């Protein structure tokens, strides 16, 4: 096998300053693998990383990209690295150093999962970020005996995965979207109800639908703005809000007395932190559930695949219409 010493990559030189460039590939250390990348998605977390707004910071210059798929073509040795050698894998980026938006990536062998033959490299490139989050939310909802789950950004790729796991758990899901024309199609996909936040009677519609529920869990992708908090205010007392995204970058608009008198709980969720606390057994069980989801016919919608030279156009296309599906980088 010819091991390359350099390769093409997207290089981030500072916040919002990226270009196509070449990176050098150092020799592999024990436990590491070299992945010949096939596909990598653009996720909201990547947009946050590009602009310097993500929870994980890396020294510049750096290759962005948190997850992807490809083939392991070399191993630095050790059981976990050798175990995935010559396999098609889903892979995630190392905690420090270059990420997935490159022709080749060096990562830890334990950050690679061999894909089942039925899972395409396109779908496999989105193995970690959204599926593991959706799985975690279904566990959290079951643990708290939630009788209703509420989602903002209900037309997102992650929301469809959350719906998949909630259906399995038998928990109904209320979706909130900002485009009224998306309510009916999403209800046919299995949401118990979908309400548009642009309805003039939005809060009353939410109140009318949720009034019989006693234990509501609200997973919020927006974080900022006032919509999420007026939604929380319209939910039954004691509803629990889990903020997991910051799609709305404006200042959060809430009144503490609403939260106080309704006895709400508001907390945050970040997969990276949770993943660091998991045992190997828990990780293996989760991975098995994600493989099962991906081999059950579930697919994330893909609107386009672009080459590395067209990254700027690809990002633009994704940002302009996120609900149309993921944009993948193809190597």
**Choice from 57, 179, 288, 292 touching ligand NAP (CB under 6 A):** 179
- For 276, residues 6+ apart whose C-beta sits below 8 A from its C-beta are none
Q: What distances in angstroms separate CA 244 from CA 25, 133, 191, 220, 303, one per listed residue?
A: 34, 9, 20, 6, 24
Of the candidates 19, 103, 36, 120, the residue with the CA atom closest to the CA atom of residue 74 = 36
**Choice from 7, 25, 33, 44 touching ligand NAP (CB under 6 A):** 44
Closest contact distance (angstroms) between CB of 180 and ligand NAP is 11
Question: Is 245 one of the binding residues for ligand NAP (CB under 6 A)?
Answer: yes
**Choice from 34, 271, 306, 327 touching ligand NAP (CB under 6 A):** 271
Question: Is 68 one of the binding residues for ligand NAP (CB under 6 A)?
Answer: no
Cα gap 56→51, rounded to integer Å: 12
Question: Is 107 one of the binding residues for ligand NAP (CB under 6 A)?
Answer: no
Q: Which residues of 187-210 are buried (b: 16+ CB within 10 A; e: fewer)?
A: eeeebebbbbbeeeebbebbeebb
- Contacts (CB under 6 A) with ligand NAP, residues 112-171: 129-130, 133, 153, 155-158
Closest contact distance (angstroms) between CB of 110 and ligand NAP is 19
Closest contact distance (angstroms) between CB of 156 and ligand NAP is 3
Query: Quick one: which segment of 16-24, 113-121, 205-213, 241-249 binds ligand NAP (CB under 6 A)?
Result: 241-249
Question: Is 106 one of the binding residues for ligand NAP (CB under 6 A)?
Answer: no
Closest contact distance (angstroms) between CB of 255 and ligand NAP is 20
Of the candidates 64, 63, 66, 51, the residue with the CA atom closest to the CA atom of residue 22 = 63
Comparison of 237 and 313: residue with beta carbon closer to ligand NAP: 313
Question: Is 248 one of the binding residues for ligand NAP (CB under 6 A)?
Answer: yes
Query: Quick one: which segment of 21-29, 38-46, 64-72, 286-294 binds ligand NAP (CB under 6 A)?
Result: 38-46
Cα gap 317→301, rounded to integer Å: 14
**Choice from 40, 45, 183, 264 touching ligand NAP (CB under 6 A):** 45
* Beta-bridge partner residues of 194: 175
**Choice from 93, 322, 327, 328 touching ligand NAP (CB under 6 A):** 322
Compute the C-alpha angle 130/131/137, nearest 5°. Answer: 90
Closest contact distance (angstroms) between CB of 30 and ligand NAP is 30
Closest contact distance (angstroms) between CB of 233 and ligand NAP is 17
Cα gap 144→216, rounded to integer Å: 9
Q: Catalog residues that contact ligand NAP under the rule CB under 6 A.
A: 43-45, 129-130, 133, 153, 155-158, 178-179, 221-222, 244-245, 247-248, 269-271, 322-323
């Amino acid at each position: 096998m010819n091991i390359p010493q350099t390769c093409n990559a997207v290089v981030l030189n500072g916040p919002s300053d990226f270009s196509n460039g070449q990176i050098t590939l150092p020799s592999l250390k024990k436990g590491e693998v070299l992945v010949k990348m096939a596909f990598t998605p653009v996720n909201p977390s990547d947009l946050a990383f590009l602009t310097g707004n993500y929870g994980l910071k890396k020294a510049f210059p750096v290759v962005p990209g948190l997850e992807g798929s490809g083939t392991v073509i070399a191993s630095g040795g050790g059981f976990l690295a050798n175990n995935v050698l010559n396999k098609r894998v889903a892979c995630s980026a190392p905690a420090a150093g270059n990420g997935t938006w490159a022709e080749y990536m060096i990562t830890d062998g334990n950050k690679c999962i061999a894909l089942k033959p039925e899972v395409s490299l396109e779908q496999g490139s989105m193995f970690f970020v959204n599926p593991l989050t959706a799985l975690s939310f279904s566990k959290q909802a079951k643990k708290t005996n939630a009788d209703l789950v509420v989602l903002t950004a209900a037309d997102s790729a992650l929301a469809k995965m959350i719906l998949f796991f909630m259906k399995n758990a038998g928990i109904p899901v209320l979706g909130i979207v900002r485009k009224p024309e998306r309510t009916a199609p999403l209800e046919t996909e299995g949401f118990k109800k979908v309400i548009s936040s642009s309805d003039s009677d939005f809060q009353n519609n939410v109140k009318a639908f949720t009034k019989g529920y006693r234990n509501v869990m609200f997973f919020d992708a927006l974080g900022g703005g006032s919509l999420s908090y007026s939604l929380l205010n319209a939910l039954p007392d004691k509803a629990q809000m889990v903020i997991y995204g910051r799609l709305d970058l404006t200042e959060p608009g809430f009144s503490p007395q609403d939260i106080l008198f309704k006895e709400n709980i508001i907390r945050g969720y970040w997969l990276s932190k949770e993943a660091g606390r998991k045992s190997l057994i828990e990780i293996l069980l989760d991975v098995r559930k994600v493989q099962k989801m991906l081999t059950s016919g579930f697919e994330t919608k893909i609107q386009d695949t672009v080459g590395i030279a067209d990254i700027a156009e690809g990002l633009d296309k994704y940002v302009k219409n996120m609900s149309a599906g993921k944009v993948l980088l193809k190597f």
